[in-house]
Amino acid sequence: NNSVEDAAKGRFPKEASRPMTDSRAGFVEAQGSGVQLLMDAELAIEMGVPIYGVIGLTNTATDKEGRSIPAPGRGILTTAREVNGPSVPSSALLDFNFRMSQLEQDLADVQTWKNREKSRLESLAKQAEGDKKHQADLKMRTEVVEDMARKKRQGAYATWGQGFYKGLPNVSPLRGALAVWGLTADDIGVGSFHGTSTK
């Protein structure tokens, strides 16, 4: 940014950084500091750390050449992009209660599968008493069942949890991230934007 040109146009120094305007004129150096401690919610609860907010979504707009797309507004447009209209119904996945019921059902199904497999293996173990080779094989199969149950639970959370909206053209990243918590755009308390004023 050229401060001499800005002054000639009647702009004050505090107006040097104006990333959302067509008159932006380049990078503006500044100094400052701040600390934000971010951590997983489960860890914060476990440690008893005070929680002041939840970050529902972070996003960046890049052109694959540089680190940002400088044109004003494109970043938020990529965050709010979605296909809507009469031929594209609103996604039922936005309904928190629907997703929760589906998640609970999937997790119950995983537990039923795990219990059934373990019961079957326990029956086989009784039949194989004294056969060390067979017992070792059954122990390995039990570990496989545990591992597969963990993967199935992860799959259920991936389907119905925090990333449920990814890849859905009719649910924007912003709307999906809010819906994870049962929120809408009307519930946003703070929005943060970083702009460099570059052209």
57: nearest Cα among 140, 163, 141, 182? 163
Q: CB of 156 within 8 A of CB of 104? A: no
The residue type of 161 is: G
The pLDDT assigned to 67 comes to 57
> At 112, is the pLDDT very low, low, confident or very high (cuts 50, 70, 90)?
very high
State pTM to two decimals: 0.66
Q: CB of 21 within 8 A of CB of 72? A: yes
**Reduced to 3 states, what is the DSSP secondary structure of residue 7?**
helix
Model confidence at 70: pLDDT above 70: no
Q: What is the pLDDT of residues 116-171, one digit of tens each?
A: 999 998 888 887 777 777 778 888 999 999 999 999 999 999 999 988 998 888 89
The pLDDT assigned to 95 comes to 92
Model confidence at 198: pLDDT above 70: no
Q: CB of 197 within 8 A of CB of 19? A: yes
Radius of gyration of the chain (CA): 26
